[in-house]
Structure 1
Amino acid sequence: MFSTGKNYLKLIRGARILHLDSRKSIPQKPELKTLPIFQYPVSQEDTRRVYVWGLADHGAIGEATALYKDKISYLLKPKRLSFAERYKVTDIACGYGFTVYAVQSSDKNIVYGTGINTDSQLGFNEIDKKKFPDNMVFAPRPINLPLKENTTTKVIGMAAGRAHLLILTMEGLFTLGNNAYGQCGRPIIANENYEKSRVVHHIPNIKGSKITAVAAGQDHSILLTEVGEVYAFGWGADGQTGLAHYRNEHRPSLVKGDLAGQHIIKVACIADCVLALSDKGKVYGWGNSEYGQLSVKGDSCQVYIATELNLPEEIGHITDIATGGCFCMILNSAGNIYVWGYGILGLGPQVQKILKPTMIPPTLFGNNVYNRDIKVTKIYCGISQLAALTNSGDLYMWGGNKFGSLGLGHRNDQFFPLRVAVGAQVKKVACGVDHTVTLCKPFI
């Protein structure tokens, strides 16, 4: 039987007294020293890490430890970038052999760059030509921008082309590098020498509207404004400016055609084919269509005006877009990826060219009977590589892999999506021609 409250307390006190008395006759063990408590560091919510892989010879991955003296240098697997451990990286962008990083900073050094700098796309740099004879930067260094004095600003977006760079800040857009076709948004100067150029062009806004996003093709640029309008400038030989002509244009000019009256929320391009996505989930395209990237009526290989794509109705609402060198990729609200065009599209080794948008099986991205909630949320393209991010932070890549730009541990082309072993949750991917950079969040 259980004792009453008072009796229970007496029993407890009695037992304690008996225990204390018994200690007098029993040799006591020495008291143990208090051991330290080990606490594992937990990352802040905004902590970001950067992982890089691919060709290292041009310095675009920013890791000098990956360079070899007598052979081609590349990283086949993701490597944590030491630069990002010292700076708070907020955004990334890859050009043709170079990479730029936006960082949170209290001074004017809010952008760093590494890689090829033959056209001052990474800003002015007095390089020791005996040590670096080919105008290459092998570790991230600051890109000087003509920012206002005694003000703090931050980077809103970045985009990089073949040899030019777009940096969108709270003070407007800054452009650097090669302007041979007007892709920097300033008048073309015949025989201009871009090596060691100090020119940084500033575009504060577009007709009073704020610029909210930027995209860069090989030699042309595209701006998106707060009212959902698209402006383009640069090389237009394939119709990639969408201005209803094939001439070069240095002034940011409004893209009309089927975009008239539409509110565009994203523009994607990496070479000469452009896709635009509206807030209604409709997709529009212009530029190079030699491989059927733009599913429009007629046999034209160049589409010089924005045209709504004739996509199958069963695809439904589109949430993301991406373009490669000769293919396109879209993502619908169900998390399904559709690809078409020419190249290694993720549909197997026998498929090289396909004109109709075709779905890649969701099971290849981890969706199965045990993980029904897994789905793709973002898509990216390089010239020959394709990438997809899932809601679990996993990265899948496929496509051309000559210099290990897929991060799979080898240099063989990958015909189906395969998960990349990145040691963190991937938040953003930037694909260069032959290298890849990811912005990630630590697991803990």
Structure 2
Amino acid sequence: MSLKLYTSALTQLRKLLSLSERISGREYASGWKKRTLKREKIKETVIRYVGVNAVRTQRVYLWGCSATGALGIQQFLRPNRLQKPKLKVPYPTRLKYMNEYDFEIYDIACGYGFSIFAVKKSKQHYLLATGINTDSQIGFHEEPKNSGRLLDYVIAPLPISLPLNEPELTQFKSIACGRAHTVILTQDNTVYSLGNNSYGQCGRGIVQDEVYSKSSRVNVLTDLPDNIVKVECGSDHTLFLTKTGEVYSCGLGADGQTGLGMYNNQGTPLKLEGDIQKEKIVSVASKGDCVLAVSKKGEVFGWGNSEYNQLSMVTEETQVNVPRHLPIAKDCGRIIQVAAGGSICAVLNEHGEVYVWGYGILGKGLQVDMSLMPTKIPQALFGESELLPNIKVTNIICGLNHFVALTDKGDVYTWGKDKDGSLGLGECKNQFFPLRVALPAEAKSIYCGVDHTVTLCRSFC
């Protein structure tokens, strides 16, 4: 090639390279401009819409034992190949299922390894359940439908089928769960029960050697008045509260927990007498075999198991089979709520103060594991300070061995034995005084099983 041709070719190549650089520069500038405009648009959208017109959405956060499916998150037990199943979750985890299907939750109940959600969508109502189902306590389920493959465990929420006249229009007024049974009260004052009835806890006659596994039986209780407003389940007994403040019960009576003046099992619900006979009871609580009740006047009554000094202020016996008045209001003030676990008890007064007694981790520190009389937990342990001087507890519940409290600021505090992460504090360690759970939302209500906890919340924005 001659020098002249080489010079001409080199000049053309330089022109082409220069043109290519200009084109790529323009493309890069154009791409940068687009990306910049996109980022600015996102910023503008966040400031203009989310900050001003955001709608606070309902959210469910739960934690604790997931091995039974009680948390309702399928991925914990059926993860991908690179992950191991999570049998316990010691930190708050969001149950996205309800938001994905646009369900609004209005009641929740937690049993021994299972959970039930009363939900609505538009004007339709459903009862969804997840968790252990070895005694058909959450209904008759087969997967897939009409396959004949019946489930002992449900790992994601499924609907419970009830013999309702208007299945999707009937609202659920109250639901409660025990060790292996469930009781449901509907808006038309009909009471249904499912699951184990070995002691009559489902409100019907006891059938010897009855098989409860994989059963489609749903009981309709007909021996109750038509003004029931709330149901409550202990481990193997059931309590029914009427609008006029009367209490009915059935089930296991070995510790006197039915309050019927005997220690026999009772299949048909009967009315309680004793010291509550002329009182209007407004609330009852029982997670194990001890029962506490509070009257409209703010007085407390108790019956059932007292092996751990739950009722020692009125008796030296270890069982009480009839409601007895507990003289604690004079020291604790007017009581508005009670909580009774396996060996631990608590009351909440009208000033938002919590008093505890019994045996176990009471929330008074490492050195205090027993108290014969209710003692107050300092308000500072629930977040009260100079900056927040008037913190009040609005709700107190318990499992068998742990407490959960809700404050008027929407904060949740837990303490007690941390069975399978049921405290939600990130570590499976016992907690000897109330500690706040790190929730990314404002808690509105709390629910407690023996090894898991559920909170119904509203998002911050």
Provide the TM-score with structure 1 as the length reference: 0.87
Quick check: 1:304 aligned with 2:296?
Answer: no
Quick check: 1:221 aligned with 2:238?
Answer: yes
2: CA distance, partners of 1:101 / 1:50: 11
2: CA distance, partners of 1:251 / 1:133: 30
Q: 1:42 aligns with which of 40, 51, 54?
A: 54
The aligned counterpart of 2:117 is 101
Q: Structure 2: any 5+ residue segments left out of the alignment?
A: 1-36
SS of residue paired to 1:110:
strand
SS of residue paired to 1:65:
helix
Amino acid at match of 1:55: C
Amino acid at match of 2:351: A
Deviation at 1:193, TM superposition (A): 0.7
Q: Compared with structure 1, are the counterparts of its residues 415 and 151 closer, same or farther at alpha carbon in structure 2 (3 Å cutoff)?
A: closer
Q: How does 1:392-411 map to 2 (within 5 A)?
A: 392-411=409-428
The aligned counterpart of 1:26 is none
1: CA distance, partners of 2:252 / 2:384: 41
Check the 8 A contact 1:167/1:173 in 2, yes or no: yes
Deviation at 1:149, TM superposition (A): 3.5
SS of residue paired to 2:98:
helix
1: CA distance, partners of 2:90 / 2:49: 34
Check the 8 A contact 1:238/1:272 in 2, yes or no: yes
The aligned counterpart of 2:229 is 212
2: CA distance, partners of 1:367 / 1:335: 12
Deviation at 1:377, TM superposition (A): 1.1
Q: Structure 1: any 5+ residue segments left out of the alignment?
A: 1-31
Q: How does 1:167-316 map to 2 (within 5 A)?
A: 167-171=184-188, 172-203=190-221, 206-207=224-225, 209-311=226-328, 313-316=330-333
Amino acid at match of 1:437: V
Deviation at 1:205, TM superposition (A): 7.5
Deviation at 1:408, TM superposition (A): 0.5
Amino acid at match of 1:64: Q
Check the 8 A contact 1:121/1:178 in 2, yes or no: yes
Higher Cα radius of gyration? 2
2: CA distance, partners of 1:296 / 1:230: 23
Deviation at 1:133, TM superposition (A): 9.5
Larger relative helix fraction: 2
Deviation at 1:151, TM superposition (A): 6.9
2: CA distance, partners of 1:353 / 1:250: 35
Deviation at 1:106, TM superposition (A): 5.8
Report how many aligned residue pairs link the two structures.
409
Amino acid at match of 2:361: I
Q: 2:91 aligns with which of 72, 77, 80?
A: 77
The aligned counterpart of 1:125 is 141
SS of residue paired to 2:75:
helix
Quick check: 1:111 aligned with 2:123?
Answer: no
2: CA distance, partners of 1:133 / 1:260: 45
Amino acid at match of 2:76: A
Q: Compared with structure 1, are the counterparts of its residues 351 and 150 closer, same or farther at alpha carbon in structure 2 (3 Å cutoff)?
A: closer
1: CA distance, partners of 2:451 / 2:166: 38
Equivalent pairs: percent with the same residue? 47
Deviation at 1:435, TM superposition (A): 0.9
2: CA distance, partners of 1:64 / 1:75: 13
Deviation at 1:429, TM superposition (A): 1.2
Check the 8 A contact 1:48/1:90 in 2, yes or no: no
Quick check: 1:330 aligned with 2:340?
Answer: no
SS of residue paired to 1:104:
strand
The aligned counterpart of 1:90 is 106
Deviation at 1:134, TM superposition (A): 7.6
